[in-house]
Structure 1
Amino acid sequence: MSLLFVSASRTCRSSFSRQHILLSTSRFQSTQINPEIHQTQNQQTKADYPSSSSSNSSRRYRFYFLSIAAGALIGGAYTFRQSRKYEGLMPEYITNSEQLQRKAMEARPMPPPVTKHITFDEGPRVNFPFKLTLYQYVTCPFCCKVRAYLNYNRIPYDIVEVNSVMRSETKWSIYKKVPILVIENEEIQLNDSSMIISAIESYLRMPTKRFENISKLYQSVVEKDEKGKLSFNYPNKYFLVEPLTNERVDPTKQVQTEKTKDDARDNDATTTTKNVNNQSSPWFFTKFFSKSKSEHKEGLVNIGSGTVTDNETKSITSYNKSSEQYKLERKWREWVDTKFVHTLSPNIYCTLNQSLNTFRWFSQAGDWEQIFPWYQRWIIVYVGAVVMRGVAGRLRKKYNLNDNVRISLYECANEWVKAVGNKNFLGGSQPNLADLNVYGILTAIQGCEAFQDLMSNTKIQPWFERMKHSVEPHFADNRLRATT
């Protein structure tokens, strides 16, 4: 009977009924005929009636397989290249990052593509004899921190505005973030805004023969992940450090503590009153405070580049007060980097319209029309606005901000105002490093709707205006040079 079905099926190869008969035959054979006959019949059927759908399916599978294989090959090659990129240097630069910096500086284009020269109508508060070049995004909060510090101390510097999309200006650097500050005289690269500020402040309080004597005390911890990406960490970036005695310009006339200038003045005056001369100690992280040997002459005490009179001396309790003041300054510097700054982006990019307006303000504030070609500027503004709108949502979740991100921004501002209290600044009569850091990150959003809401809905504006008066009115020259 099975032979009869097969014969009938051959007379209607192109019909639908043929397929039905073959299916019935296969089922029938599987239960009724000898397995050997079944195998012979299947081979004959496949030979006589090739399936076009099976052929197309096989081609698709081959295409998928080849695509996956090609992708795996390319991805594997890229991963291998990244993992081997710094393999030869890896054991050395984890313990000595100076080699890493030297190689980066050798690859740096010279002269740098400077877009602005910042000078001041008054001399610096403390002499800083080195030439500086700052690689930045104009409205990056961390770059704004560094600029606020340099402007307050009236230290001249050059700016290289980095294209935030192409980033061609910093391709030479293995450190891929901004700000990057280069000490041109000694070809030293400083990374991380807090480390930059601490290093320069350490030099101003304790000048050395070379800036390298300060920078080498802020060695980075460099790590490489499984993808070959390098990460930089500066464990002591919030500390001010003391160089070795033989590296100082004049160790007998310099402040050797990490406290604010006013606190240092009080401490040295007290030391002079007690007529105590302490020998300079080797450098160590300045959570261990050391007293310096001061010089007393005609009622004046030399404190770095300044002097105070004997009638300004305080009681011996000023030393303990100074220690607490420094700890307070360091606490709020860390607070700025770990909490306050993370409320900014979710607020200025909280809607697509605000995100677009923010980037338009960035373009205006950074003079992008004079710095970047029109197509690069278009990409930065429109693509950046869309991308950052998406990033803002992830940042809100990552840092556990309120669903209404304005509330988180207001809470941080009120927390800072409470810390300042009735004083003009957290540092007292003069801003300290924490004041400059908070002011710096807020200048990053000055042209945004979020900034106006912040000024209107919190009590931070009086402090901000005092800071602006202390930092900003000293500009004498802000020349621009167009780049391509």
Structure 2
Amino acid sequence: MYVVSRLRQGACITRPILHSHSFSRLAQQHKPFVSKLYSTNQSPPSAKVPPSSSKKSHLLKVVIGSVIVGTGYALYERSKAAKAPPIGNPQTSPEDFLLKEEVPELKVARRFVNPSDQTGLKLTLFQYQPCPFCCKTRALLDYYGLSYDVIEVNSVTRTQVKWSDYKKVPILVAETPSGQKMKLTDSTMIISAMASFLTDKSQSLLEVVSCFPRINYRDHDGKEKMDVMNKYFLMYKDAPTHRTKEDIVNERKWRRWVDDELVHKLSPNVYRTPSEALQAFYWFEEMGDWKEHFATWERYLVIYFGALVMWIIGKRLKSRHHLKDDVRTSLYDDCNHWAKQVKKRGGRFMGGDKPNLADLGVYGVLSAIEGCDAFTDLMKYSDIRPWFEATKEAIQSHEGQYLLQGR
């Protein structure tokens, strides 16, 4: 955004020095010449600044002044934010996690019903079809064979989540057989809570959810942010006997890797060029049945405006997360690293013979780009295909539904 004159090296120039009385005597001797040179009709020559140069100089001063003022204001705001007092978070009780908003009746985009689901839960997932965090959540629900409804959210207008104080997706609204309603937010928290609930049958869903309080805090710049405590942890009343500590810690490590590393490789690859971005959004339209759920103007707004915005964001994310010039290489490297680590574990999955939550997380975020050029290239040029297809089969056949028995 963002004249110098120079003497030749070794040269020496000398000039005679005329004192004022010498110049006066010279003027008397050469009066006609001097009079002609400085006549009453002519003023001594002066350095005049061309109008264009004057305007440029003024404009430059304005720009510099604006930059100084803007920088000063930004530093002031940052300093003020950094000095802001810490945010207090009151102690929570289970009742604080009950849904307080009134959820309006909305058109259900898709409904998944599993006769083997004995939980009695009525689950409604508010999602945006291509969102990797929503795909991660769906991977969990499908693997365990839970019944749930899907409300497709317009990513631009967000009309379907106006009822909620929390506007990001996914949002999972859970209603228990006793009529208790809870709103679960943050895909990682949703996965941990539902997995804990299904694994430890001695706990109610409300008891589990209350272990994941939302907190507000200030980052190092003083900006207020929100997060969920314990979101990578599974909540058991007693130590699980079917898993080792090493297995649990390893699963948690790779779940963090999905959120901190892998997911950031997607957007720069899917939206690498304007044409790829547009192709991706047309695919999302088809997969999300947008023609059925959105008005024509909403659909085109999401497709064209969304493609433009995500192409720009993809460029920024490439720089922010230090991806290679060929962003495909960064995606291949991460997926090859994952496939290598799975192989080291000695089974088909990171969880061994069955997918664990890390497997579901990696599959979920990668399934978000299925159908895009980036996904086609990934399956062709990396080593992840055998694992991906095995995990997809396990999810689609609801291999984890045995946990629904007796719930």
**Number of residue equivalences:** 322
* Bigger relative CO (Cα 8 Å, ≥ 6 apart): 2
Q: TM-score under structure 1 normalisation?
A: 0.61
C-alpha displacement at 1:394, in angstroms?
Answer: 0.4
Superposed CA RMSD in Å reads 3.4
Determine if contact 2:94/2:207 at 8 Å carries over to the other structure: no
Which residue in 2 is equivalent to 1:123? 116
Q: Which of 198, 208, 212 pairs up with 1:204?
A: 198
Matches of 1:109 and 1:181, distance apart in 2 = 12
SS in 1 for 2:325: coil
Q: Does residue 1:188 correspond to 2:170, yes or no? A: no
Moved over 4 A (4+): 90-95, 97-102, 227-230
Q: Which of 220, 241, 257 pairs up with 2:239?
A: 257
Which residue in 1 is equivalent to 2:105? 111
Matches of 1:91 and 1:390, distance apart in 2 = 34
Which residue in 1 is equivalent to 2:212? 218
Matches of 1:164 and 1:98, distance apart in 2 = 31
Matches of 1:99 and 1:203, distance apart in 2 = 18
Matches of 2:295 and 2:218, distance apart in 1 = 35
SS in 1 for 2:312: helix
Q: 1:234 to 1:106 in 2, by over 3 A?
A: closer
AA partner of residue 381 (structure 1): I
Q: Does residue 1:402 correspond to 2:324, yes or no? A: yes
C-alpha displacement at 1:171, in angstroms?
Answer: 1.6
Structure 1, unmatched stretches of 5+, are: 1-23, 25-82, 84-89, 244-255, 259-263, 268-321, 476-484
Q: Which of 168, 193, 208 pairs up with 1:177?
A: 168
Determine if contact 1:222/1:231 at 8 Å carries over to the other structure: yes
Q: Does residue 1:148 correspond to 2:114, yes or no? A: no
C-alpha displacement at 1:98, in angstroms?
Answer: 7.3
Q: How does 1:430-469 map to 2 (within 5 A)?
A: 430-469=354-393
Q: Does residue 1:352 correspond to 2:274, yes or no? A: yes
Matches of 1:360 and 1:228, distance apart in 2 = 40
C-alpha displacement at 1:92, in angstroms?
Answer: 7.5
SS in 2 for 1:107: coil
C-alpha displacement at 1:387, in angstroms?
Answer: 0.8
Which residue in 1 is equivalent to 2:295? 373
> Residues 167-210 of structure 1, C-alpha deviation per residue, up to 9 Å, x if partnerless?
01112222221111111232111111111011111111212463
Determine if contact 2:127/2:153 at 8 Å carries over to the other structure: yes
Matches of 1:375 and 1:230, distance apart in 2 = 35
C-alpha displacement at 1:468, in angstroms?
Answer: 1.3
C-alpha displacement at 1:136, in angstroms?
Answer: 0.5
Identity over aligned pairs, percent? 42
SS in 1 for 2:210: helix
Which residue in 1 is equivalent to 2:77? none
Structure 2, unmatched stretches of 5+, are: 1-42, 44-80, 400-407
Q: How does 1:239-278 map to 2 (within 5 A)?
A: 239-243=233-237, 256-257=238-239, 264-265=241-242
Q: 1:172 to 1:97 in 2, by over 3 A?
A: farther
Q: 1:232 to 1:390 in 2, by over 3 A?
A: same
Q: 1:380 to 1:98 in 2, by over 3 A?
A: farther
Which residue in 2 is equivalent to 1:472? 396
Q: 1:404 to 1:209 in 2, by over 3 A?
A: closer
Q: TM-score under structure 2 normalisation?
A: 0.71
AA partner of residue 382 (structure 2): T
> Residues 460-482 of structure 1, C-alpha deviation per residue, up to 9 Å, x if partnerless?
1111111111111469xxxxxxx
C-alpha displacement at 1:213, in angstroms?
Answer: 0.9
AA partner of residue 384 (structure 1): G
Matches of 2:96 and 2:226, distance apart in 1 = 11
Which residue in 2 is equivalent to 1:389? 311
Q: Which of 136, 139, 145 pairs up with 2:130?
A: 139
C-alpha displacement at 1:223, in angstroms?
Answer: 3.6
C-alpha displacement at 1:128, in angstroms?
Answer: 2.5
Q: 1:99 to 1:224 in 2, by over 3 A?
A: farther
AA partner of residue 158 (structure 1): D
SS in 2 for 1:146: helix
Which residue in 1 is equivalent to 2:347? 423
C-alpha displacement at 1:113, in angstroms?
Answer: 3.6
Matches of 1:197 and 1:325, distance apart in 2 = 17
Determine if contact 1:208/1:214 at 8 Å carries over to the other structure: no
Matches of 1:171 and 1:348, distance apart in 2 = 29
AA partner of residue 134 (structure 1): L
AA partner of residue 136 (structure 1): Q
